[in-house]
Every structure is written in structure tokens, then in C-alpha cells.
């Protein structure tokens, strides 16, 4: 190797070192410069991009981590010979005898949610149509505000109210009058002795809690429908209620769908109020007046005792896993439905 060549290499090395430091400096300093200059044209806000990426990923990561954690915690019961995935259809829950069937809770939760949605969605959408289409301007804001306040009441307060008012009402008034009335007395749904703590009480209190969500979100969705569509319908000779039913609701269907999804999510996950009024009895309810046990209640009630028994504890986590999968499925189905609605309406 000749001297010049070595020199050349040295030279190039020192130069690359300089440029490396230079580049490092640029790496560190430039983003901050860019951040400070972000409002000048032609500058990309790199630092802002990076900092905002963190919260954006965080929410995704949290979902994945929670799912992983639930899976991990429920592995013992899902792999054990007394458990396995079959627990989801097994109706016998008796930790003392190592029986961990969770079907009762799944059925209880589904029935409670069905009743709640069945009441809250029609009533809520009706209320929203009134607020958005028929209500005098002066009344709309106050009513909406009060409805929004309803959403802020803690669920335990709803539970207390239901325990004192709704449960005795079902026991003393509703059940006897339905069962003694010859018109309705024969219907299987209304049979059975009851102390008021029942599937119906859970469904009704859940429905009341869902109402504000359904009403406010649906109202907002209906209000985004352009006035010109209502006018077009009226100009064709439609009445106001025909316009509301056939044009406004249909145009706002994706938004209404979103309201139902949120309500569903809240319904399956609600714990306190339901726990207080459903009676928490280990049986599958056959009538509206039978007590029931929902998934959230069993976890809250038994986690304390179960913590030192690996299988028992794991079974409770499995209930949580099923709950989570259920609500993810609801959300995904609803998203697909909303997408379909948007497509057929030409929004996307």
C-alpha cells in the first residue's frame, strides 16, 4: 500500500467521521428545529409525528396486551381436564366440586342485554326522532342536556334506585297482575314466583342506563342529515313523519348503528346495577321473573375468594375472556353493518 493511498484512506476516514458526527447532530437537532419551525411552509413536523405516534399505538397495544393477559390467565382452565373450551356450554358452576361451566352466565348476560337493547333502542330512537324532527327549538337544548346528565349518573345510584323501587314494583305489582290476568297469565314468559330480583329487573335497569347513550348519539346523527333532504321529501308531498321515518332515519342509519353498538358494549359490560337487582342465582332463567347471574357479576362476586385457587381463578378470567370476545364480536358485526349501510347510501 503506497503512502498516498494510506493518506487517502486516512483522509476519507476522518472525513466520514466528521460527517458521522455531523449526521448524528442533524439527527438529534433537526427534529427539534423542525418542531419549532413546524408552522413554516415546507417543513415536516418530525418530532410531532413521533410524539403523536406513541398515543396512537398505545391504544392498539393496550387492547392486544389485555387480550393476551386474559388468554394467559385463563390458560389453566382451558387446558385442564376438568375444564377445556367445553365450559362455555356446560351449565354447572360449582367450584367446590371442580365444576366450572360458565353457560349460565353467558346466557344470563345475553338475555339481559337482549331485553335492555330491546327496550332502549326503540324508545331511544323514538325520543331522538322527536328531539331532532318534531321538538320546538326552545325545548330541544334543555331536554338534550338533561338526557346527557342521565348518562353521568353513577351506575350504583341506578342500582340503588332499582333495588328500592323497581324490584318491589315487579314483586308486588307487575308479576301478580300479569300472572292473575287471564289474558297474559298463561304466557310461559310470565310464570314463576318471584321476589322481584329478576332477569326483567336487570334488563329494565340496563335499558334505562342505555337510553341517554342511544338518544344523544342518535339525535346527533339525525341532525347531521341535511335539511335539503327533508325539504326534497316534503316537496314530494310527504308528511313530516313520513319524512322522518323514510328519509331521515335511513340517511342517518350508519350513525344510528353506531349508537346501538355503543349501547351494546355498555350493556354487556355493565356490572354494579345489574349485580344488585338480578338475584345472582345459579340457574338459567326461563321466565322474565326468574333470577339470573350475569358474567360481570360472577367475576365481581367471586374473584376475592377464588384468588388462591388456580383453577377457580382461571375460570373467572375465562369468563372475562368470553365477555371481551363477545363485545369485540358485537363491535365488528356492527362495523360491517355500518360499512354496508354507508356503501348502499353512496357515502363511501
Q: Are 270 and 155 in contact (CB under 8 A)?
A: yes
Residue 226 vs 304, nearer CB to other proteins: 226
Of the residues 234, 272, 284, 311, which one makes contact with other proteins according to CB under 8 A:
234
Q: Are 217 and 258 in contact (CB under 8 A)?
A: yes
- Report the alpha-carbon distance of residue 23 to residue 200 in Å, rounded: 69
Smallest gap from residue 232 Cβ to other proteins (A): 5
The verdict on 344 binding other proteins (CB under 8 A) reads: yes
Residue 187 vs 232, nearer CB to other proteins: 232
Of the residues 121, 251, 288, 295, which one makes contact with other proteins according to CB under 8 A:
251
Stretch that binds other proteins, among 107-115, 145-153, 212-220, 226-234 (CB under 8 A): 226-234
Task: Using CA atoms of 231, 235, 241, 244 in order, give the dihedral in degrees to the nearest 10.
Answer: -40
What residues numbered 121-160 form the site for other proteins, per CB under 8 A?
A: 137
Give the contacts of 279 (CB within 8 A, at least 6 positions apart): 195, 197, 198, 291, 292, 293
| Set of cell numbers at residue 220 | 346527533
The verdict on 343 binding other proteins (CB under 8 A) reads: yes
Stretch that binds other proteins, among 4-12, 195-203, 246-254, 309-317 (CB under 8 A): 246-254
Instruction: Give per-residue burial for 262-284: e unless 16+ CB within 10 Å, then b.
Output: bbbbbbbbbbbbbbbbbbbebee
The verdict on 246 binding other proteins (CB under 8 A) reads: yes
Distance between start and end Cα atoms, the chain? 68
Smallest gap from residue 59 Cβ to other proteins (A): 31
Stretch that binds other proteins, among 103-111, 215-223, 225-233, 332-340 (CB under 8 A): 225-233
The verdict on 233 binding other proteins (CB under 8 A) reads: yes
The verdict on 229 binding other proteins (CB under 8 A) reads: yes
Reference 115, options 217, 198, 178, 212; nearest CA is 198
Smallest gap from residue 245 Cβ to other proteins (A): 11
Of the residues 23, 43, 49, 345, which one makes contact with other proteins according to CB under 8 A:
345
Of the residues 72, 134, 186, 347, which one makes contact with other proteins according to CB under 8 A:
347
Residue 71 burial (C-beta neighbours within 10 Å; 0-12, 13-18, 19+): middle
CA distances for 93 relative to 100, 167, 272, 284, 285, angstroms: 5, 26, 21, 11, 15
The verdict on 224 binding other proteins (CB under 8 A) reads: no
Q: Are 254 and 348 in contact (CB under 8 A)?
A: no
Of the residues 231, 241, 286, 336, which one makes contact with other proteins according to CB under 8 A:
231
198: left (phi over 0), alpha (psi -120 to 50) or beta: beta
The verdict on 340 binding other proteins (CB under 8 A) reads: no
Q: Which residues bind other proteins (CB under 8 A)?
A: 137, 226, 228-229, 231-239, 242, 246-247, 250-251, 343-347
Amino acid at each position: 500500500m503506497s503512502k498516498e493511498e494510506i493518506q487517502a484512506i486516512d483522509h476519507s476516514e476522518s472525513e466520514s467521521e466528521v460527517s458521522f458526527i455531523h449526521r448524528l447532530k442533524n439527527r438529534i437537532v433537526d427534529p427539534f428545529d423542525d418542531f419549532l419551525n413546524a408552522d413554516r411552509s415546507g417543513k415536516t413536523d418530525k418530532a410531532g409525528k413521533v410524539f403523536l405516534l406513541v398515543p396512537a399505538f398505545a391504544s392498539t397495544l393496550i387492547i392486544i396486551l389485555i387480550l393476551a393477559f386474559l388468554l394467559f390467565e385463563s390458560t389453566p382452565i382451558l387446558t385442564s381436564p376438568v375444564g377445556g373450551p367445553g365450559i362455555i356450554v356446560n351449565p354447572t358452576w360449582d367450584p367446590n366440586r371442580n365444576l366450572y361451566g360458565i353457560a349460565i352466565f353467558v346466557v344470563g348476560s345475553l338475555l339481559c342485554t337482549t331485553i335492555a337493547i330491546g327496550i332502549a333502542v326503540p324508545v331511544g330512537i323514538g325520543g331522538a326522532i322527536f328531539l331532532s324532527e318534531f321538538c320546538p327549538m326552545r325545548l330541544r337544548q334543555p331536554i338534550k342536556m338533561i338526557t346527557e346528565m342521565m348518562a353521568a349518573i353513577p351506575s350504583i345510584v341506578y342500582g340503588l334506585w332499582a333495588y328500592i323501587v323497581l324490584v318491589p314494583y315487579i314483586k308486588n305489582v307487575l308479576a301478580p297482575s300479569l300472572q292473575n290476568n287471564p289474558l297474559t297469565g298463561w304466557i310461559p314468559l310470565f310464570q314463576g314466583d318471584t321476589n322481584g330480583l329478576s332477569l326483567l329487573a336487570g334488563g329494565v335497569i340496563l335499558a334505562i342506563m342505555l337510553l341517554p347513550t342511544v338518544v344523544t348519539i342518535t339525535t346527533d346523527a339525525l341532525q347531521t342529515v341535511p335539511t335539503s333532504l327533508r325539504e326534497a321529501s316534503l316537496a314530494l308531498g310527504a308528511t313530516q313523519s313520513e319524512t322522518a321515518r323514510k328519509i331521515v332515519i335511513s340517511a342517518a342509519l350508519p350513525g344510528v348503528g353506531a349508537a346501538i353498538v355503543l349501547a351494546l358494549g355498555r350493556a354487556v359490560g355493565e356490572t354494579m346495577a345489574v349485580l344488585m337487582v338480578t338475584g345472582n342465582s345459579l340457574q338459567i332463567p326461563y321466565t322474565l321473573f326468574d333470577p339470573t347471574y350475569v358474567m360481570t357479576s360472577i367475576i365481581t362476586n367471586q374473584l376475592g375468594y377464588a384468588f388462591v385457587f388456580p383453577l377457580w381463578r382461571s375460570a373467572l378470567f375465562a369468563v372475562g375472556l368470553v365477555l371481551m370476545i363477545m363485545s369485540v364480536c358485537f363491535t365488528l358485526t356492527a362495523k360491517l353493518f355500518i360499512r354496508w349501510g354507508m356503501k348502499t347510501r353512496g357515502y363511501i
